[in-house]
Chains A and B, each alone.
Chain A
Amino acid sequence: MNALLTPPTTAHLRKRAKPLLGTVVEIAIQTDNETAFVNATDAAFARVEEIHHAMSFHERASDLSAITNAAVGTTLRISPDTWKTLSLSLEIEALSHGAFNPTVAPALVQRGVLPMPVNGEIPATASSLAASISMQENHKVRILKRVWIDLGGIAKGYAVDAAVTALELHNVRAGVVNAGGDLRVFGDLEHTVAVRVPSEPNQVIAIATLENLSCATSAMYYAAAETIAGSQGQLKYESVSVIATSCAVADALTKIVWLININSAEVIATLNHFNAHVALLDGAGQLTRI
């Protein structure tokens, strides 16, 4: 390759970071001046904040709280962001034969990971998103069964995608958005991604270079095993990274690979469907890339 055509690295980018989504969201972009930089990043951060409020399990005014408190048979209008995230969640739940399951919130409330909703009652939990809601036109959703939804496994990735869209609308040519480790590289930029060594999380290993792709990682650093949604049985990996075009997809797929064996038919079918790749670190520190 002609060296002159090599896209710039992140060293040429201007960076900004804010505490959002319970983590630190970092935006690094190519920009000409401070005004353009602040305007574009302000818009992107505003989108992240908007999505946080719509999809928070904790906030009483969120779409998810409205769904939790809705009576069976009612139809609600929700934000386009929540509607799109629920639609994608349904698709991934179906492709993964239920391994991706955003209806595990009651179990998480019982374990004290999530707070008790307003009405203080834990429903006989719906087993799947598909059994609980049905998507309607005009950003509406119909409640089929009482359900508590936790989009913690996908919303952060969705927010990263939305931030990238906001930056592109501000004519930003290239950059990286990283929300607490769920990241997307866009535009004319090659960017190296590193993952933490789970047993020693202040050290990292560089695994791949990305161009117009996203990478999300689920790992056990200091968290207890049971906080991983619906954890079934033994942990096979210490760290799971998924690379896909959309960060929402990458985010959600890390949960599936985490929960089921990487070689299972439904995982392979789901990864193939999204043209996604995986990097795993197992308990012995072995790195596997697929």
Chain B
Amino acid sequence: MKSALTWLPTAAIVIVSPVYAGQYATVDEAAKRAFPDATEFKESVFQLSADEVRNVATVTGLPAKPVLWRSLLAMNGDKPLGVVVLDSVIGKFELIDYAVGIAYDGKIRNVEILAYRESHGYEVRLPAWRKQFFGKDKSSRLRVSEDIASISGATMSATHITDGVRRIVAVVDQMKAAGKF
């Protein structure tokens, strides 16, 4: 097995513009990975009443989130297998879209990140020391969004996703109790 380290020459070192994004999975892919047995996914919107929103906040100890939740009901013929709920949270530097698949018995089947994008969009400030890294023109800039590079060092924070998953479990619980699912 060949292993090789190539330091990029200083002239080729570039600073990426601050907006970048990553696409991992479509909603359909996430749904099928959670429920491979499903024959059909029905688009659905969970709507919580004011009481149900309060219940979710009490059960999870998290601030209440929206009243409406976009979801897909996983069906095998007439039999409901579970539901895939879609949500977005703010991470450390970015907005993260994710999907949670929950089986009819309440068990989590899959948590899948769909996409993320850096939420800041401010202009690049340019201290003198950083000018050394800039290429000659825009085309020489590396764009992480095109998957040329991985970032080493702290990236997304999962804390808000973990909280979000807990909230979705509680939302689905409320929906089941209300006979809406």
Chain A 1-41 interface 0/1 with B at a Cβ cutoff of 8 Å (1 = within): 00000000111010111111111101010000010001000
Instruction: Say if the beta carbon of A256 comes within 8 Å of chain B.
Output: no
From residue 153 to 181 of chain B, which have CB atoms closer than 8 A to chain A? Answer: 153-159, 161-162, 165
Q: Are B2's CB and A203's CB within 8 A?
A: no
Q: Are B7's CB and A19's CB within 8 A?
A: no
Instruction: Say if the beta carbon of A265 comes within 8 Å of chain B.
Output: no
Instruction: Say if the beta carbon of A178 comes within 8 Å of chain B.
Output: yes
Instruction: Say if the beta carbon of A53 comes within 8 Å of chain B.
Output: no
Q: Are A38's CB and B16's CB within 8 A?
A: no
Known A206-B14, A213-B3, A285-B130: A13·B162 in contact at CB below 8 Å:
no
Instruction: Say if the beta carbon of B127 comes within 8 Å of chain A.
Output: yes
The distance in angstroms between the C-alpha atoms of A281 and B83, with both chains bound, is: 46
Describe A's contact surface by its main secondary structure: strand
Instruction: Say if the beta carbon of B112 comes within 8 Å of chain A.
Output: yes
Q: A215 touches which one: B29, B33, B152 (CB < 8 A)? A: B152
Minimal beta-carbon separation of B26 from chain A (angstroms)? 11
Known A16-B24, A204-B144: A180·B4 in contact at CB below 8 Å:
no
Q: A9 touches which one: B25, B29, B124, B148 (CB < 8 A)? A: B148
The distance in angstroms between the C-alpha atoms of A100 and B14, with both chains bound, is: 32
CB neighbours of B50 from chain A (8 A): none
Q: A191 touches which one: B113, B129, B146, B149 (CB < 8 A)? A: B149
Minimal beta-carbon separation of B1 from chain A (angstroms)? 6
Query: How many residues of chain B get a CB closer than 8 Å to chain A's CBs?
Result: 57
Query: How many residues of chain A get a CB closer than 8 Å to chain B's CBs?
Result: 64
The distance in angstroms between the C-alpha atoms of A11 and B162, with both chains bound, is: 29
CB neighbours of B22 from chain A (8 A): 15, 17, 26
Q: Are A205's CB and B7's CB within 8 A?
A: no
Q: Are A208's CB and B8's CB within 8 A?
A: yes
Q: Are B8's CB and A209's CB within 8 A?
A: yes
- Which of B3, B116, B120 lies at the interface centre, i.e. has the most chain A CB atoms within 10 A of its CB? B3
Q: Are B154's CB and A201's CB within 8 A?
A: yes
From residue 156 to 195 of chain A, which have CB atoms closer than 8 A to chain B? Answer: 176, 178, 180-183, 190-195
Minimal beta-carbon separation of B143 from chain A (angstroms)? 10
The distance in angstroms between the C-alpha atoms of A210 and B3, with both chains bound, is: 8
Known A19-B113, A213-B3, A289-B7: A181·B151 in contact at CB below 8 Å:
yes
Instruction: Say if the beta carbon of A277 comes within 8 Å of chain B.
Output: yes
Q: Are A24's CB and B154's CB within 8 A?
A: no
CB neighbours of A15 from chain B (8 A): 22-24, 147
CB neighbours of A195 from chain B (8 A): 151-153
Q: A193 touches which one: B29, B113, B127, B149 (CB < 8 A)? A: B149
Q: Are B25's CB and A181's CB within 8 A?
A: no
CB neighbours of A211 from chain B (8 A): 2-5
Known A201-B154, A208-B7: A192·B149 in contact at CB below 8 Å:
yes
Q: A222 touches which one: B5, B16, B92, B120 (CB < 8 A)? A: B92
Q: Are A207's CB and B125's CB within 8 A?
A: no
The distance in angstroms between the C-alpha atoms of A25 and B114, with both chains bound, is: 13
Minimal beta-carbon separation of B107 from chain A (angstroms)? 15
Q: Are A239's CB and B2's CB within 8 A?
A: no
Known A19-B161, A206-B8, A209-B6: A10·B150 in contact at CB below 8 Å:
yes
Q: Are A285's CB and B149's CB within 8 A?
A: no
Known A16-B25, A212-B1, A213-B4: A23·B155 in contact at CB below 8 Å:
yes
CB neighbours of B18 from chain A (8 A): 200, 202-203
Q: Are A201's CB and B93's CB within 8 A?
A: yes
Minimal beta-carbon separation of B6 from chain A (angstroms)? 4
The distance in angstroms between the C-alpha atoms of A202 and B111, with both chains bound, is: 25
Q: Are A13's CB and B147's CB within 8 A?
A: yes
Closest 6 CB pairs of A and B: A217-B153, A212-B3, A17-B113, A19-B158, A24-B156, A192-B149
Given contacts A192-B8, A204-B149, 12 further A-B contacts (CB under 8 A): A10-B147, A11-B148, A20-B158, A22-B159, A178-B151, A192-B142, A200-B18, A204-B151, A206-B8, A206-B12, A211-B2, A239-B153
Residue numbers of A with Cβ under 8 A of B are 9-11, 13, 15-24, 26, 28, 34, 38, 176, 178, 180-183, 190-197, 200-213, 215-219, 221-222, 239, 241, 243, 245, 277, 279, 284-287, 289
